[in-house]
C-alpha cells in the first residue's frame, strides 16, 4: 500500500522531526495546516448547462511570511493531495530561503474538457469564493499543473475587481501583465542547477549525462531544453499521451516545436514509442519525474535503473519506494529542493510588483543560481552532521527555519 499523498509527506516530515528530536507538541504544530478552505464552484457551461466543481485552498504555515503556493486544475485533485502539496510548500520556501510560508490550491476538474471561456469563468469563480483568504501579504497563488500565465492573469484581474489594482496577489503572470522575465523557465532552470550541483559533488557534470523525463509541460519541457543546451543527453520524454525514447538522445528542440504546434507529444514519429511506466525503468543516469505524484512506488522502485531520481514533480516517490531506492544506492534529489526554482522566481516577481520595478533576466537567473548553490551546500552539511539522506536533510534544514521563526514570533 502506498498510502495517501499527505501520509507520504508526513512520513518524510517525521523523519526530519526524528533527526532533530523535537517535542511532540512542536511537531504537531508544525505538521498541522493553519486553515483549509473548500468551495463549491458553479459556472454556466457554453451549452448553458451548469458545471459544478469543488475547489480547495489549504494554508499550511505562515511563520516565515505570507502563505505561498500553486493552484492546480486536475481531476486527481483531492483535499488530501492539496494538504500534502501545501505542507511541501512550507518546507520548500524555508529550504530555499524565501520569506514565505506554504499553501496550495486546486480545483477538481479535467480542464481538457472545458473551453477557454469556461476555464476563465471557473477561475473567476474561484477568486470570487476565496478572495477574502488570499492577498499580496496573506496568501499568493501561482501556476501548477494545468494552470499557466493566462490563468494567473485572470486571477489577478478578478482579485483586483474586489480589492483594486494588486498584481502582487499572484505570481507566474505573463510578462506583459506584471509578470517576471525568467519565471516561466524558473522551475526547470532550478532543476538544472540542482542536478548540476549534485553531479558536481559526485565528481560528474551535466555533459553526456543520460536523462529520462516524465512530463513535458512547463517544468519538464524547460528542464529538457535547458539540460539539452548544457550537453545532457535526453533519452526519453513523455506526457499524458505517452512517451518517446531514443538511447542516442532525442532532438529536444524539434520535440518542443511539435508540442507547441500540436498541443502534446502524440504522433511525434521520430523516436520509439514507450509507455509512461516503461520510461520510469529505462536505463539512464538520471530519472526526472516532472508530472504527477506517486509514480515511483514499491511496485517499480526495484526496477529503476537510474543512479539519481531528481524530483521535478511534487511528491512523485512514495515513502516505501524511497526506502527501496535509498537501500539500492539511488540518490533521490527531493522535490522541496529540486523544484524550488519556481517559488524562488515567484518571490522575485512579487518583490518587483511591490517595488513597481523590473529586474533583468540575468539578475533573476544569477540570484536563482545563488540560492540553489547555497541550499545545496547547506544540505551537504546536514547530511554529514546528521548522517541522513538528502531528503531528510532537506526537511531538517527547513523544519529548523520554520521552528525558529515560529518560536521567535511567540507561541500562545
The catalytic residue positions are 104
Per CB under 6 A, 212 contacts ligand NAD: no
Per CB under 6 A, 157 contacts ligand NAD: no
Per CB under 6 A, 146 contacts ligand NAD: yes
According to DSSP, the β-strands at 35-44 and 242-245 are unpaired
Per CB under 6 A, 313 contacts ligand NAD: yes
- From the CB of 316, what's the least distance to ligand NAD, in Å? 7
Per CB under 6 A, 123 contacts ligand NAD: no
Among 152, 236, 288, 291, binds ligand NAD (CB under 6 A): 291
- The interface region with ligand NAD, picked from 118-126, 129-137, 154-162, 234-242 by CB under 6 A, is 234-242
- The interface region with ligand NAD, picked from 61-69, 266-274, 312-320, 394-402 by CB under 6 A, is 312-320
- The interface region with ligand NAD, picked from 119-127, 208-216, 364-372, 386-394 by CB under 6 A, is 208-216
Q: Which residue, 385, 387, 346, 397, is CA-closest to 367?
A: 346
Residue 232 CB neighbours (<10 A): 26
- From the CB of 341, what's the least distance to ligand NAD, in Å? 7
Binding string to ligand NAD for residues 353 to 392, with x set by CB under 6 A, is what?
----------------------------------------
The Cα–Cα gap between 127 and 94 comes to 27
Per CB under 6 A, 120 contacts ligand NAD: no
CB-nearer residue toward ligand NAD: 65 or 111: 111
> What are the residues whose beta carbons fall under 8 Å from the beta carbon of 210, sequence distance 6 or more?
232, 233, 235, 249, 283, 284, 285, 286
- From the CB of 29, what's the least distance to ligand NAD, in Å? 26
Per CB under 6 A, 292 contacts ligand NAD: yes
The Cα–Cα gap between 129 and 67 comes to 18
**Lookup: cell for 408:** 521567535
Residues that bind ligand NAD (CB under 6 A): 143-146, 187, 214-220, 238-240, 276, 290-292, 312-314, 339, 342
Amino acid at each position: 500500500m502506498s498510502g495517501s499523498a499527505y501520509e507520504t509527506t508526513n512520513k518524510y516530515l517525521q523523519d526530519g522531526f526524528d533527526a532533530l528530536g523535537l517535542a511532540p507538541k512542536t511537531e504537531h504544530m508544525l505538521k498541522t495546516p493553519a486553515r483549509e478552505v473548500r468551495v463549491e464552484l458553479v459556472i454556466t457551461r457554453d451549452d448553458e448547462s451548469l458545471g459544478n466543481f469543488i475547489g480547495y485552498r489549504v494554508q499550511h504555515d505562515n511563520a516565515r511570511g505570507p502563505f505561498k503556493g500553486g493552484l492546480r486544475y486536475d481531476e486527481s485533485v483531492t483535499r488530501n493531495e492539496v494538504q500534502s502539496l501545501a505542507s511541501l510548500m512550507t518546507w520548500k520556501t524555508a529550504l530555499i530561503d524565501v520569506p514565505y510560508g506554504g499553501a496550495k490550491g486546486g480545483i477538481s476538474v479535467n480542464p481538457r474538457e472545458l473551453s477557454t471561456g469556461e476555464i476563465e469563468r471557473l477561475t473567476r469563480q474561484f477568486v470570487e469564493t476565496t478572495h477574502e483568504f488570499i492577498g499580496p501579504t496573506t496568501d499568493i497563488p501561482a501556476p501548477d499543473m494545468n494552470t499557466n500565465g493566462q490563468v494567473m492573469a485572470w486571477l489577478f484581474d478578478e482579485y483586483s475587481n474586489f480589492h483594486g489594482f494588486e498584481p502582487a496577489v499572484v505570481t507566474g503572470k505573463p510578462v506583459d501583465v506584471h509578470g517576471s522575465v525568467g519565471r516561466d523557465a524558473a522551475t526547470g532552470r532550478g532543476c538544472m542547477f540542482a542536478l548540476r550541483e549534485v553531479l558536481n559533488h559526485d565528481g560528474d557534470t551535466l555533459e553526456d549525462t543520460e536523462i529520462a523525463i516524465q512530463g513535458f509541460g512547463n517544468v519538464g519541457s524547460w528542464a529538457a531544453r535547458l539540460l539539452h543546451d548544457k550537453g545532457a543527453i535526453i533519452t526519453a520524454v513523455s506526457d499524458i499521451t505517452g512517451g518517446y525514447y531514443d538511447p542516442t538522445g532525442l532532438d529536444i528542440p524539434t520535440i518542443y516545436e511539435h508540442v507547441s504546434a500540436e498541443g502534446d507529444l502524440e504522433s511525434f514519429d521520430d523516436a520509439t514509442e514507450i509507455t509512461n511506466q516503461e520510461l520510469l525503468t529505462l536505463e539512464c543516469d538520471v530519472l526526472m519525474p516532472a508530472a504527477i505524484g506517486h509514480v515511483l512506488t514499491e511496485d517499480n522502485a526495484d526496477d529503476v535503473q537510474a543512479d539519481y531520481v531528481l524530483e521535478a514533480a511534487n511528491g512523485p516517490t512514495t515513502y516505501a519506494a524511497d526506502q527501496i531506492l535509498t537501500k539500492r544506492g539511488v540518490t533521490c534529489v527531493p522535490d522541496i529542493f529540486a523544484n524550488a526554482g519556481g517559488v524562488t522566481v515567484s518571490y522575485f516577481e512579487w518583490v518587483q510588483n511591490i517595488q513597481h520595478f523590473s529586474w533583468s533576466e540575468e539578475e533573476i537567473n544569477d540570484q536563482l543560481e545563488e540560492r540553489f548553490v547555497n541550499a545545496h551546500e547547506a544540505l551537504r552539511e546536514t547530511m554529514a552532521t546528521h548522517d541522513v539522506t538528502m531528503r531528510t536533510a532537506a526537511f531538517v534544514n527547513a523544519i529548523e527555519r520554520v521552528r525558529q521563526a515560529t518560536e521567535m514570533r511567540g507561541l500562545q
